[in-house]
Amino acid sequence: MMYALENDFLQVEVSGLGAELKSLKFKPDLKERMWSGDPIYWNKTSPLLFPIVGSLKQNEYKFKDKVYQLNRHGFAREMEFELVENNSTRLKFRLNSSEKTKNFYPFDFSLYVEYELNDAVLYCNYEVVNIGHDEMLFSIGAHPAFVVGNGTEASYNEYALHFNKDNKINCYKIYDGLIGEDYKEMVLKNNQLSLSYDLFYDDALVFKSLKSDLIILSNDGGQTGLKFEFKDFPYFGIWAAENANFVCLEPWCGIADSVNHNQELSEKEGINSLSPTETFERSWSVSLI
């Protein structure tokens, strides 16, 4: 089921499946800023990554001497959320643990996703609550895909990502979905990373030490794009499907398994720990320019 938000500046649509942001339009031009989900390239628009980010080695992890199967990016993006709040400026969704989720994730949780409009800014807030009696281990991340250009490679190449606090970044290499120990340094001229199709031919760009908490997507004239803000996400990914006219800006609290990981969930890089009754909160926002 689809749900809508609207104010004087923005029109937003969110699907109950995965609490996924499906549409974001700036009312002065009504131009769609979210990727269409064209299955020829990639059929998602903004999936929620929970309770893992990225891939596990052999799609498995170990917890308390038991082996669990869990596919890339976890299960939340494929599950129906319950709408628990709906007013003129806010949509709030909830996913609770169940017997089904216990088959591949042995923790009791409530996961809330909230979308809120404030003038020309859309906020997305995540809230993870441990409703069990034991320590909870998890990761969470965002994966929004924004339209770039008008459908041609030439227009795609006119765009760049501007980082507010980085002039060079270390990009970790990916091997069959797993994070390697080696990385390459990318020097950003004027804090800017130019977009091109071939930038993503070897998979996503993955960063572990990004200083920036604001990235601006804009074209050569600086007139078309958006501002993407995020705080307290220790990892970040940038990705696009091959030759597709979008870019994903992905703040993560968690990361794919390393190539040398022993598959123990408690020893996984970037894993978060939550005591009973505790709450974990993160948010990101997008404003249109």
Q: Is the pLDDT of residue 216 over 80?
A: yes
Whether the CB-CB separation of 149 and 158 falls below 8 Å is answered with: yes
Whether the CB-CB separation of 46 and 13 falls below 8 Å is answered with: no
The whole-model pTM stands at 0.96
Model pLDDT for residues 223-273, shown as the tens digit of each residue: 678 999 999 999 999 999 999 999 999 999 999 999 999 999 999 999 999
Q: How far is CA 127 from the centre of its chain?
A: 14
Whether the CB-CB separation of 186 and 247 falls below 8 Å is answered with: no
Whether the CB-CB separation of 126 and 112 falls below 8 Å is answered with: yes
Whether the CB-CB separation of 242 and 262 falls below 8 Å is answered with: no
What would the mean pLDDT of 23-31 be, rounded to a whole number?
Answer: 92
Which domains are seen in the chain, by residue range? 2-288 (2.70.98.10)
Strand partners, 174: 179
Whether the CB-CB separation of 22 and 46 falls below 8 Å is answered with: yes
pLDDT confidence tier of residue 289, bands split at 50, 70 and 90: confident
Helix (H, G, I), strand (E, B) or coil at 22: strand
Which pLDDT value is given to residue 223? 67
Q: Is the pLDDT of residue 88 over 90?
A: no
**Residue pointed to by tokens 């340094």:** 185
Which pLDDT value is given to residue 116? 98
Q: Is the pLDDT of residue 222 over 90?
A: no
Q: Is the pLDDT of residue 62 over 70?
A: yes
Helix (H) or strand (E) holding 154: helix 153-156
